[in-house]
Amino acid sequence: MREHFELRATDAGGRLGELTVPRAGVTVETPALLPVINPNLDTLSPRRLAEEFGAEILITNSYIIHGTDDVRERALEDGLHELLDFPGAIMTDSGSFQLSEYGEIDVTTEEILEFQRAIGSDIATPVDIPTPPDISRERAADELETTQERLEIADRADTGEMLVSAPVQGSTYPDLRETAGRHADATSLDVFPVGAVVPLLNEYRYGDMVDVVAAAKRGLGADAPVHLFGAGHPMMFALGVAMGCDLFDSAAYALYARDDRYLTVRGTHHLENLDYLPCSCSICAEYSPDELRELPEDERESELAAHNLHVTFAEIRRIKQAIRAGNLLELVEERARAHPTMLDGYRTLLDHAAQLERSDPVSKGTFFYTSQESARRPEVLRHHERIARLSTPDSLLLTEADSPRSDEYDDIWRVEPPFGPFPRDLSKSYPLTAEVPDRTDRAALEAAVRGVSRLVEANPETDVTLAHRGWPADVVARLPERVSVLDVAGDS
């Protein structure tokens, strides 16, 4: 077990946890947002991030500090916490991003780790190689080898109480990401950023992002805190958390503000196009869009950054509450409706339903069927697995009818889309207490048919009859041939 990370609750792949940061003497509740602070630009002061926004942790770039003479001297002399005036935990990046942008940097992993330790960083980062998406497999594998050598150097370095992150690379090759995750997990390093996803996010490739994270997670242990490096738009946090990410960093709140862009959980607006402010944070309560537009540039930037950060932290709190309440996937479904590419992300998440099922609690609140994607949720998959293990009598009626009319069967079970069949004594247990719409859809019916098929295949000796209410013929045709079928649509 990793001693510094504890899970408190889970929902789908999402986790509520506690990351203990010994050098800072603080425990950070996860999922957590790390605002990015540029040591040379003070859009919102770190003190204000802590006091007004409740930031428990932030991230800054040790490479920029290292390369800026006066800042470096002050960091070495007074320490990072005093330099930034921040009471929480401080994570530092290493210059890997600069390496990916400019092709070279002038520090080694040993040097930058030693520097991060010297300035009082609480979580340091080695110089990994942020391998971009879609490159040749050969290059991805070569660069991964270099990243792994750097992690081994970091693993051997004397870093004292400072935690050290172990970035997981591998481009868009799931098997390389999984191998990278397994290698990183085998080190004694502490925090696991899934690296180089920014190019995917910039192109709205949320489906590919989910595949990359899912692969890294297969290699990492459940006790590994995972950081989705560079993912700062609140629109995709719920998706990232549901896939098992615990830490997010946001430079977006400040970068977007610089361009007069206004963040919401459903996307980004340009201030120019807003007639109303769809938010009730302190900034949006104080100003009208016209008043914001009329502010001097500096002030407008800082007020917009404050709004952007309020929205971002609010989404993190909403996600934590959703995990607590057991309705994280309902939140992901809502967010998936904001943009077609988010829907791709959610649909890809459901491709990994079996992986999510392992951490999904057996019982939670009430399952809400809110879209056809709900039919592919891990709970439905788990019910189908369970169906195959239930014992059945010689003859069995599965029926959608409220009052079964027959006593010619040994037993009568309910059948309900999307779950399929279940004995009546399970009807009060999760997820069969689900709220489903009266007007069901094809995806739910097809899932119910999969459930009936599992039951029939697992019990070749049982005679099964299905009484359904007007299911389309081509859906019913997917049932195994030996199921007798009755349409009870006209019955009450």
55 is in an annotated binding site: no
DSSP single-letter state for residue 21? E
Nearest approach in angstroms of CB 301 to Zn ion is 15
- Cα 30 to chain centroid distance, Å, stands at 12
Q: What would the two tokens of residue 416 be?
A: 């309900």
Asked if residues 302 and 293 have their Cβ atoms less than 8 Å apart, the reply is no
Q: Stretches 278-286, 294-302, 361-369, 476-484: which one binds Zn ion (CB under 5 A)?
A: 278-286
Cβ partners under 8 Å of residue 420, min gap 6: 383, 384, 387, 398, 447, 448, 449, 450, 451, 452, 454, 455
Residue 279 binding Zn ion, by CB under 5 A? yes
Nearest approach in angstroms of CB 284 to Zn ion is 3
Is residue 451 helix, strand or coil? helix
Kindly state the helix (H) or strand (E) to which residue 57 belongs, with its residue range: strand 57-61
Q: Tokens 């950023």 map to which residue?
A: 193
Residues numbered 179-198 forming contacts with Zn ion, rule: CB under 5 A: none
284 is in an annotated binding site: yes
Asked if residues 177 and 170 have their Cβ atoms less than 8 Å apart, the reply is yes
**What residues does 27 pair with on adjacent strands?**
20
Q: Which is nearer to Zn ion, 211 or 303 (CB)?
A: 303
Q: Which is nearer to Zn ion, 307 or 450 (CB)?
A: 307
d(CA 309, CA 205): 23
Nearest approach in angstroms of CB 273 to Zn ion is 16
Nearest approach in angstroms of CB 283 to Zn ion is 5
245 is in an annotated binding site: no
Q: Which is nearer to Zn ion, 253 or 471 (CB)?
A: 253
Q: Stretches 249-257, 272-280, 396-404, 473-481: which one binds Zn ion (CB under 5 A)?
A: 272-280
Phi/psi zone of residue 132: left (φ > 0), alpha (ψ -120 to 50 degrees), beta? beta
Q: Stretches 35-43, 118-126, 280-288, 480-488: which one binds Zn ion (CB under 5 A)?
A: 280-288
**What residues does 192 pair with on adjacent strands?**
226
Site string for Zn ion, 231-270 (x = CB under 5 A): ----------------------------------------
Is residue 249 helix, strand or coil? strand
Is residue 256 helix, strand or coil? helix
Q: Which is nearer to Zn ion, 63 or 287 (CB)?
A: 287
Nearest approach in angstroms of CB 88 to Zn ion is 23
**What residues does 269 pair with on adjacent strands?**
262
Binding footprint of Zn ion, residue count (CB under 5 A): 5
Closest CA to 315 of 266, 364, 256, 365: 266
> Length of the chain, please?
492
How open is the CA angle 17-187-126, to the nearest 5 degrees? 85
Q: Stretches 215-223, 274-282, 339-347, 379-387: which one binds Zn ion (CB under 5 A)?
A: 274-282
Catalytic residue, from 11, 69, 78, 93: name it: 93
Q: Which is nearer to Zn ion, 53 or 204 (CB)?
A: 53
Bond prior to 361 in cis (omega within 30° of 0): no
Looking at this protein, which amino acid is placed at residue 248? Answer: F
DSSP single-letter state for residue 132? P
Residue 281 binding Zn ion, by CB under 5 A? yes
Q: Which is nearer to Zn ion, 183 or 307 (CB)?
A: 307
Q: Which one among 49, 180, 220, 284 touches Zn ion, defined by CB under 5 A?
A: 284
Nearest approach in angstroms of CB 269 to Zn ion is 11
Q: Which is nearer to Zn ion, 284 or 316 (CB)?
A: 284
Nearest approach in angstroms of CB 237 to Zn ion is 17
DSSP single-letter state for residue 368? B
Q: Stretches 16-24, 36-44, 282-290, 402-410: which one binds Zn ion (CB under 5 A)?
A: 282-290
Kindly state the helix (H) or strand (E) to which residue 413 belongs, with its residue range: strand 411-416
Cβ partners under 8 Å of residue 486, min gap 6: 465, 466, 467, 468
Nearest approach in angstroms of CB 238 to Zn ion is 19
Residues numbered 75-104 forming contacts with Zn ion, rule: CB under 5 A: none
d(CA 72, CA 60): 13
Q: Are strands 247-250 and 32-37 parallel, antiparallel or unpaired?
A: parallel
215 is in an annotated binding site: no
Q: Stretches 188-196, 281-289, 313-321, 435-443: which one binds Zn ion (CB under 5 A)?
A: 281-289
Q: Which is nearer to Zn ion, 146 or 268 (CB)?
A: 268
Residue 309 binding Zn ion, by CB under 5 A? no
Q: Which one among 23, 177, 205, 307 touches Zn ion, defined by CB under 5 A?
A: 307
- What b/e sequence results for 359-370 when a residue is b if at least 16 CB atoms lie within 10 Å of its CB, and e otherwise? bbeeebeebbbb
Cβ partners under 8 Å of residue 297, min gap 6: none
Nearest approach in angstroms of CB 428 to Zn ion is 43
d(CA 44, CA 53): 11
Annotated active-site residue 351? The verdict is no
Q: Which is nearer to Zn ion, 281 or 486 (CB)?
A: 281
Residue 71 binding Zn ion, by CB under 5 A? no
275 is in an annotated binding site: no
- Residues flagged as binding site for substrate: 128, 196
Active site positions, annotated: 93
**Binding site per annotation, positions:** 128, 196, 279, 281, 284
Known binding site for Zn(2+): residues? 279, 281, 284
What residues line the site for Zn ion (CB under 5 A)? 279, 281, 283-284, 307
